[in-house]
């Protein structure tokens, strides 16, 4: 791939990290922090599905993520509906970053990456979750919280869950 295809109009390498982030976990944070040195701008995109009931509101998720990265001007947090590749193009991202915890994640992400590249030329970068975070998922955090368990060890430092 030519360098010019990887850089937006302002000469910046832009990546999109999409997900529901309901809630944003230490695993998500780890992926962002590890991918960040590769890019000039990193857009964390909260996917909103109107047909799906969320644990946290979009505004709560956005505020939580912005709190975690408040000191890094390279990070922007947005929300979107529709196709991920469409929002990637809207923000000028030439890369989509995804985290992989399990072999099933890899299979799914591989197929999506191939389609995204075929449709738009956008490349997908897969980062494997660090072993200490591989057991953490948003759904497990939600379930533990539902049963009154302390989930703070699974959330980025300085954040907490407060349901609306």
The dihedral region occupied by 121, where left means phi > 0, alpha psi between -120 and 50, and beta the remainder, is left
Q: If we measure between CA atoms, which residue out of 154, 139, 143 comes closest to residue 25?
A: 154
> pTM for this structure?
0.90
Choose the weakest-confidence range: 56-70, 74-88, 93-107: 93-107
Query: CATH number of the domain at 3-154, please?
Result: 3.40.50.620
146 belongs to the catalytic site: no
28 belongs to the catalytic site: yes
pLDDT tens by residue, 92-150: 999 999 999 888 888 889 999 999 999 999 999 999 999 999 999 999 999 999 999 99
61 belongs to the catalytic site: no
Instruction: Select the more confidently predicted residue: 7 or 142.
Output: 142
What's the rounded Cα separation, in Å, for the pair 76 and 82? 19
Provide the pLDDT for residue 2: 33
34 belongs to the catalytic site: no
> Taking the alpha carbons of 164, 82, 14, 136 in that order, is the dihedral positive or negative?
positive
Candidate list 101, 117, 134, 137, residue with the active-site label: 101
Whether the per-residue pLDDT at 58 is higher than 60: the answer is yes
Domain parsing of the chain, residue ranges: 3-154
DSSP E strands in 25-136: the ranges are 41-47, 75-80, 95-100, 123-128
Percent of the chain with pLDDT over 70: 93
Candidate list 20, 26, 138, 142, residue with the active-site label: 138
């Amino acid at each position: 791939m030519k360098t010019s295809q990887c850089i937006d109009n302002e000469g910046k390498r832009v990546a999109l990290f999409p997900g529901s982030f309901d809630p944003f976990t230490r695993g998500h944070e780890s992926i962002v922090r590890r991918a960040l040195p590769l890019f000039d701008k990193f857009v964390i995109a909260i996917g909103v599905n109107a047909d799906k009931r969320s644990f946290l509101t979009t505004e709560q998720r956005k505020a939580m993520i912005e709190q975690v990265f408040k000191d890094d001007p390279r990070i922007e947090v947005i929300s979107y509906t529709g196709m991920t590749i469409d929002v990637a193009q809207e923000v000028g991202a030439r890369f989509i970053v995804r985290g992989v915890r399990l072999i099933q994640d890899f299979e799914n992400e591989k197929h999506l990456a191939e389609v995204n590249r075929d449709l738009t030329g956008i490349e997908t970068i897969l980062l494997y979750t660090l072993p200490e975070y591989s057991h953490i998922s948003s759904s497990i955090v939600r379930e533990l919280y539902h049963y009154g368990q302390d989930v703070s060890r699974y959330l980025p430092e300085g954040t907490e869950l407060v349901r609306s």
